[in-house]
């Protein structure tokens, strides 16, 4: 029997985000100035054409395709004028390409997985699936620094957004700081997701020194026992201490840091209270948010549904897992959809390769019910 659950709209994962400080007027004026400059020089190449399209859209009075949300304006506020062009190139492709099913030779966002291993067993996470965590099944491992550098080298100049996160806890990797160092100066939108349990001084300095744009601390509650019921094996006091450590190092050693810190939880239980979370974390981080829950913990056991809209992940981002496996998403946490391995070909070649294009065609033809596990997934 098929069911029709609510779709998970990836165009915004937030249930709510608080404490952004958008400077609408000044950002608008800067986009206006950039738009005028782009008009006067014309679109001389692909990149300029995209930025020009982005400016035109943002400055149009009835623009519907590309509107900057508050947290994006917050990000832009921290950029220099000469970086705005690069940022809009990324953001337009990230937001508009998945809606219009446009593609070029590189994913708008690349997610790199330093490790698939995690020290937590959060109730809504694939780490609770022992078929995934059992080392005998081949899903557990750590990316070599050599492979990491190869992927980063390919992405530099072709992609502005790199996230260190996927199925595992990135700070568990012994070479985490070296990886972060290697990203420095190469991308505008570097993001790291961490459960904050393993943060120490060296990692804090690496993150701040590399100019990471967004550091997300994953925490879903402001008190016990709710925190530990959701973040199984987590210790709220320890996490609080590490978030404070990061805050203090930023204040003391990096007073002009552009890094935005966010505590972000998965909205899983009616007991979670964003007001309480905001009050608890407000002195230590810039933003507090809750994101939508997706049943990551048992993707493959969900019933087949009747959703037939294409999944935006095929146009928005690509994952490179610890062993080089590329995948369109982490909802398919066993990477059964994999279109290839970067040890056998480049990210770019796989992104536009036959397997990826076949999956896209099936989704566009509204035949995702014939693709496992897309048939059981609600992401659009």
Region of residue 230 (phi > 0: left; psi between -120 and 50: alpha; otherwise: beta): alpha
Nearer to ligand SF4, 12 or 144 (CB): 12
Which positions from 290 to 319 touch ligand SF4 by CB under 6 A, shown as an x/- string? ---------------------x-x------
Nearer to ligand SF4, 114 or 339 (CB): 339
Q: Does 373 bind ligand SF4 (CB under 6 A)?
A: yes
Give start and end residues of each alpha helix (H) in 101-192: 130-133, 145-155, 176-183
Q: Does 98 bind ligand SF4 (CB under 6 A)?
A: no
Cβ at position 129, least distance to ligand SF4 in Å: 15
SS3 34: helix
Nearer to ligand SF4, 236 or 307 (CB): 307
CA angle 103, 104, 106 (to 5 degrees): 110
CB 349 within 8 A of CB 357: no
Q: How far apart are CA 7 and CA 5, in angstroms?
A: 6
Cβ at position 163, least distance to ligand SF4 in Å: 16
Cβ at position 371, least distance to ligand SF4 in Å: 7
Nearer to ligand SF4, 291 or 311 (CB): 311
Nearer to ligand SF4, 240 or 377 (CB): 377
Cβ at position 130, least distance to ligand SF4 in Å: 21
Residues 328-357 that bind ligand SF4 (CB under 6 A): 328-329, 331-332, 337
Nearer to ligand SF4, 216 or 379 (CB): 379
Which positions from 256 to 285 touch ligand SF4 by CB under 6 A, shown as an x/- string? ------------------------------
Q: Which stretch binds ligand SF4 (CB under 6 A): 11-19, 63-71, 156-164, 323-331?
A: 323-331
What is the sign of the dihedral through the CA atoms of 50, 9, 126 and 189?
A: positive
Residue 311 to residues 107, 228, 325, 367: CA-CA distances in angstroms?
A: 15, 33, 20, 11
Q: CB within 8 A of 147, min separation 6: which ones? A: 324, 342, 343
Q: How far apart are CA 94 and CA 90, in angstroms?
A: 6
Residues 145-174 that bind ligand SF4 (CB under 6 A): none
Selection from 313, 268, 260, 312 nearest residue 290 by Cα: 268
Radius of gyration of the chain (CA): 20
Nearer to ligand SF4, 207 or 266 (CB): 266
| Strand locations in 166-219 (E) | 189-194, 214-218
Q: How far apart are CA 42 and CA 24, in angstroms?
A: 26
**Across the beta sheet with 214-218, what order do the strands follow?**
14-18, 287-291, 260-266, 214-218, 189-194, 161-164, 109-112, 317-320, 325-327, 340-341
Nearer to ligand SF4, 8 or 182 (CB): 8
Residue of the chain from 50, 290, 321, 379 that contacts ligand SF4 (CB under 6 A): 379
Residue of the chain from 31, 210, 219, 374 that contacts ligand SF4 (CB under 6 A): 374
Cβ at position 304, least distance to ligand SF4 in Å: 12
Count of CB atoms situated within 10 Å of the CB of 131: 11
Number of residues that bind ligand SF4 (CB under 6 A): 11
Nearer to ligand SF4, 35 or 98 (CB): 98
Cβ at position 13, least distance to ligand SF4 in Å: 12
Query: Tokens in use for 369?
Result: 């019910």
Cβ at position 374, least distance to ligand SF4 in Å: 3
SS3 24: helix
Q: Which stretch binds ligand SF4 (CB under 6 A): 79-87, 179-187, 260-268, 325-333?
A: 325-333
Cβ at position 212, least distance to ligand SF4 in Å: 25
Q: Binding residues for ligand SF4, per CB under 6 A?
A: 311, 313, 328-329, 331-332, 337, 373-374, 377, 379
């Amino acid at each position: 029997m098929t069911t029709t659950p609510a779709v998970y709209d990836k165009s915004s994962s937030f249930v709510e985000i608080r404490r952004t400080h958008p400077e609408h007027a000044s950002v608008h004026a800067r986009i206006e100035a950039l738009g005028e400059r782009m008009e006067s020089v014309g679109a001389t190449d692909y990149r300029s054409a995209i930025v020009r399209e982005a400016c035109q859209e943002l400055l149009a009075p009835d623009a519907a395709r590309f509107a900057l949300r508050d947290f994006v304006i917050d990000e832009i506020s921290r950029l220099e004028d000469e970086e705005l062009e690069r940022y809009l190139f990324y953001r337009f492709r990230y937001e508009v390409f998945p809606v219009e099913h446009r593609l070029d030779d590189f994913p708008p966002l690349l997610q790199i997985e330093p490790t698939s291993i995690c020290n937590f067993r959060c109730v809504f996470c694939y780490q609770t699936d022992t078929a995934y965590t059992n080392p005998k099944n081949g899903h557990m491992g750590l990316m070599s620094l050599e492979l990491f550098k190869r992927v980063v080298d390919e992405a530099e100049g072709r992609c502005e957004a790199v996230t260190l996160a996927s199925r595992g806890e990135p700070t568990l990797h012994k070479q985490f700081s070296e990886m972060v160092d290697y990203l420095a100066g190469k991308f505008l939108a570097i993001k790291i997701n961490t459960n904050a349990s393993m943060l120490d001084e060296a990692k804090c300095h690496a993150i701040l020194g590399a100019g990471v744009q967004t550091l997300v601390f994953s925490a879903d509650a402001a008190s016990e026992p709710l925190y530990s019921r959701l973040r199984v094996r987590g210790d709220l006091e320890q996490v609080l201490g590490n978030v404070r450590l990061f805050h203090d190092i930023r204040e003391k050693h990096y007073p002009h840091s552009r890094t935005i810190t966010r505590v972000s939880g998965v909205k899983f239980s009616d007991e979670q209270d964003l007001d309480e979370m905001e009050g608890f974390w407000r002195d230590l981080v810039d933003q507090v948010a809750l994101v939508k829950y997706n049943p990551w913990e048992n993707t493959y056991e969900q019933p087949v549904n009747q959703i037939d809209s294409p999944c935006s992940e095929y146009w928005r981002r690509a994952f490179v897992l610890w062993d080089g496996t590329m995948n369109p998403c982490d909802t398919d946490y066993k990477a059964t959809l994999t279109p290839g391995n970067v040890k056998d070909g480049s990210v770019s070649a796989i992104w536009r390769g036959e397997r990826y294009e076949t999956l896209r065609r099936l989704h566009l033809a509204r035949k995702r019910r014939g693709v496992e596990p897309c048939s059981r997934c609600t992401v659009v």
